[in-house]
Amino acid sequence: MVKNAGNISPAVRNNGGGHWNHSFFWEILGPNAGGKPSGKLGEAINSTFGSFESFQEKFAAGGAGRFGSGWVWLIVKGGKLEITSTPNQDNPLMDVAEVKGFPILGVDVWEHAYYLKYQNKRLDYLKAIWNVINWDKVAKHFDVASK
């Protein structure tokens, strides 16, 4: 369904995309998570972005730069890592996505995701999200995308 999102009604696209995106998002969060990725994923991040800290800055900029509601993504495109964002409930698997790829990490930047704790401070939320990212799960997505 998400692949051919451009061929369905906007209501179905938003609801279907919202379900897929949130299911993906909640799967990569964990109470005892955080830290830095290791192994092939850690190496790929360092190789692509220069360092994990540089990746974090670029990812936060991608999320902060999304006007209004949407998502920021780390994707595999053509065998390489790339940061992109999508509006509303779209994702990089959809035919309507500006940048298409295989998502391995996605963060909700709709205000509902952070408003109760961070009010309108999206950047503070994007800095804190690293404390709950389950890198083992993200690495599994990376392994699948890299095959």
Q: What is the pLDDT of residue 1?
A: 53
pLDDT greater than 80 at residue 3: no
In 28-114, alpha helices (H): 39-49, 52-64
pLDDT digit string, tens, across residues 69-106: 999 999 999 999 999 999 999 999 999 999 999 999 99
In angstroms, the CA 147 to CA 142 distance is 9
Instruction: Map out the domains of the chain with their CATH numbers.
Output: 5-145 (3.55.40.20)
Burial class (CB in 10 A: 0-12, 13-18, 19+), 34: middle
Report how far residue 76's alpha carbon sits from residue 93's, in angstroms, rounded to the nearest whole number. 11
Tens-place pLDDT, residues 103-137: 999 999 988 888 888 888 899 999 999 999 999 99
Question: 138, 104 in Cβ contact below 8 A?
Answer: yes
Q: Which residue has the tokens 């799967």?
A: 27
- Confidence band (pLDDT; 50, 70, 90) for 6? confident
| Cβ atoms 85, 109 nearer than 8 A | yes
Say which residue, 62 or 8, is predicted with more confidence.
62
- Model pLDDT for residues 19-37, shown as the tens digit of each residue: 999 999 999 999 989 999 9
Q: How far apart are the C-alpha atoms of 33 and 131, rounded to whole Å?
A: 6
Q: What integer best gives the mean pLDDT of the chain?
A: 94
The predicted model scores a pTM of 0.94
